[in-house]
Amino acid sequence: MIKNKRVLNDFYQKLIKEEKISYKMALGIYESLYKEALSLGVINSKNILDGLETDIKMAKIINGLH
């Protein structure tokens, strides 16, 4: 659970500044993760959006945006 949003934000801002990653490289990482999830059977083309609304609602509640 996130107890201090400022510390987390600072961490992410520092990470963004220090990690120089191009769009092409980020897309490659995303595609690799997607392929791995498919190969593990975690997702498939039929269920990729199942539960998305629930996940969004939970994220809003956790982050105090409800």
Amino acid letter, residue 16:
I
The pLDDT assigned to 66 comes to: 57
Write the DSSP string, 11-47. HHHHHHHH----HHHHHHHHHHHHHHHHHHTS--TTT
pLDDT tens digits, 2-59: 788 888 889 988 988 888 888 899 899 999 998 998 899 888 777 777 778 888 898 8
CA distance 60 to 55: 9
Q: Do residues 37 and 43 lie in contact, with contact meaning Cβ atoms separated by under 8 Å?
A: yes
Give the per-residue pLDDT at 63.
82
Q: Identify the domain containing residue 42 by its residue range.
A: 5-62
Report the domain count for the chain. Answer: 1
Confidence of residue 64 (pLDDT cuts 50, 70, 90): confident
CB 65: neighbour CB atoms within 10 A?
9
